[in-house]
A = this chain, B = another copy of it.
Amino acid sequence: MTVNIAILGLGTVASGLPFLLEENKEKLVRLLNDEIRIKTVLMRDEETIAEARERGFDYDFVLDLDEILADEEISIVVELMGRIEPARTFISRALKANKNVVTANKDLLAIHGRELRKLAQENQVSLYYEAAVAGGIPILRTLANSLVSDKITRILGVVNGTSNFMMSKMVGESWTYEKALSEAQRLGYAESDPTNDVDGIDAGYKLVILSEFAFGMSIENDDVQHEGIRTITPMDVEIAQQLGYVIKLVGEIVEVESGVFAEVSPTFLPQKHPLASVNGVMNAVFVESIGIGESMYYGPGAGQKPTATSVLADIVRLAKRIQDGTTGKLFNEYVRETKLASPADVKNKYYFSVETPDTTGQFLRLTNIFTSENVSFEQVVQQKGDGSRAVVAIICHRIARTQLAQIKEKLMAESDFKVLNVFKVLED
C-alpha cells in the first residue's frame, strides 16, 4: 500500500523532498514494504502551478485545502509554507480532518505548539516537527526516544546558523559586526532585516521547543530572555581570546531546584568546550545530563537538503506508525508541570566590560561596587586607555542573576562609568 502525502507549499525545502525520495527509494521500500508518494501539492495560485510544472514537477496541484482533506488516500499532510498564517489554520484543519501532520515551522510551534498538539491528540493523529530545531540535526527524536532514560540538567545550543556564521567571522577573522552582517546578507544567510537572527529571537523559538523535549516543560516564548550579538565589539572578542574563551550566541535552558530558566545570549565558551569549535552556519546542541554526562549533536542548522531530510524522517516514522496502527502519540510524550526558575537560583560567571575615566581611584570604585554585592573577581584585564577613558574587563566568580541585576544597576548609577557589555561566561 502506497503512503500518499500532500505538501502545502512548494518552496525550497519542499523541492528537496523529491530528490531524497528518489535517492532513497530502494532503502525506503525495504524499510516500509511501501512506497512514499507525493500525491498532491497545495499551491497559492494558477501562476505558481504553471511555474512548478515548468520546473518539472508533476503532482496533483490544488488551490483548495479541502481537496486534500477530503482525499482519503492522503494520510500525511506536510506543511512547508512557514510563518504563522495561513499555516496555523491549515495545520489545524488538517488535524481536525484526521490527517497526520509534519511541519518544519518553528515560529508556529513556539507560539501555538500547545494548541496544535492538543488538536492532534483530540483527533488521534500525530504532529511531528523534527526539522523545526537545528534543521538537519536529528535532535528532537533523539531526545524523545533515546534520552528518555536520562535526566537532563542543561541544554546549550548554537542553534542559529546566521548569527553563528557572523560570530565565526568576528572571532576567527576579527571582522566587525557590520562587516559580518553585510557578508551574511550577501550570501543570503541573513535577511535585509536580520532582527530574528541577530537578536536571538529565532534561537529563542528553538529553546521553547527544546524545553518540551528535554525538560517536559512548555515555557512561553516570552519566558525566554534574549540578548543578541549587535553590541559585541572587536575588543570583547579580543579579551575573550586573551582569557581563553570564544564568544558565541548560545541558547541555554537549565533546570535548577525552583524550575527551568531559558535565555539566548552572547556567551564566553572555554576554548576547549565542544561548542567552541562549532563554526560557520553549523549548529550544535550540547546536552548535560546525570546519566550520559555530556553529549553533543552537531550538523547543519538549515538548508534545503538537511531540512528536507528531517522532514522525510518524520514522514517515514509516521508511515511506520500508520502500518503499526500506533498513530496519535505525541512527538514528545514527556510532559510535566512547567515551573520557571527563581532568578536567585540561576548562577553563572559573568564578563563585564566597563568604560571608566582614566584617572586614579576608578578601579577602586569599581571594585567597591562588586564587593558591596559580595562578588569577587576571577580575572581582570585593563585595556590601555586614550588618556581620558579606560576600559576594564572583569570576569567574576559565580553569582546569582539577582546579584547580577544589583551590580548592573549600581554600575549604571555611576554617571561616569559606562557599562559596555555584560556577557555570561561558561565554566570549564
**Contacts from A to B (Cβ < 8 Å):** 20, 23-24, 26-28, 30-31, 130, 136-138, 141-142, 145-151, 216, 272, 274, 277, 279, 282, 289-300, 303, 305-306, 308-310, 312-313, 315-317, 324, 326, 333-336
Contacts and interface: CB of A to CB of B under 8 A. Distances in A.
Given A26-B336, A145-B145, A149-B309, 5 more contacts: A136-B292, A136-B293, A147-B313, A149-B312, A292-B306
Copies of this chain, count: 2
B274 A292 contact: no
A136 B308 contact: no
A291 B136 contact: yes
A352 B313 CA distance: 42
B150 A24 contact: yes
Contacts of A146: 130, 138, 141-142, 310, 313
A292 B148 CA distance: 24
B293 A305 contact: yes
25 contacts: A26-B336, A30-B334, A30-B335, A130-B146, A137-B292, A137-B295, A138-B145, A138-B146, A142-B146, A146-B310, A149-B312, A149-B313, A150-B309, A272-B277, A277-B277, A291-B312, A292-B299, A292-B306, A293-B303, A295-B298, A296-B299, A297-B297, A298-B298, A324-B324, A326-B326
A308 to B, nearest CB: 7
A341 to B, nearest CB: 18
A297 B149 CA distance: 18
Contacts of A305: 290-293
Contacts of A23: 151, 290-291
Contact of A149 (B150, B298, B315): B315
A306 B146 CA distance: 12
B293 A299 contact: yes
A427 to B, nearest CB: 18
B216 A30 contact: yes
A141 B303 CA distance: 24
Contacts of A277: 272, 274, 277
A7 to B, nearest CB: 15
A149 B317 CA distance: 10
A130 B146 CA distance: 9
Contacts of A295: 136-138, 297-300
A213 to B, nearest CB: 12
A253 B282 CA distance: 23
A149 B131 CA distance: 12
B31 A334 contact: yes
Contacts of A24: 149-151
A306 B277 CA distance: 24
Nearest to A299: B295
A415 to B, nearest CB: 45
Contact of A142 (B142, B326, B336): B142
Given A149-B309, A313-B146, A317-B145, A292 B296 contact: no
Contacts of A299: 292-296
A121 to B, nearest CB: 15
A298 B334 CA distance: 24
Contact of A148 (B136, B137, B296, B316): B316
A296 B277 CA distance: 13
A402 to B, nearest CB: 29
Task: List the 3 shortest-distance A-B pairs measured between CB atoms, nearest first.
Answer: A138-B146, A291-B309, A295-B299
A27 B216 contact: yes
Nearest to A130: B146
Contacts of A142: 138, 141-142, 146
A292 B306 CA distance: 4
B274 A298 contact: yes
Contacts of A294: 282, 299-300
Contacts of A293: 136, 299-300, 303, 305-306
A215 B290 CA distance: 32
A134 to B, nearest CB: 10
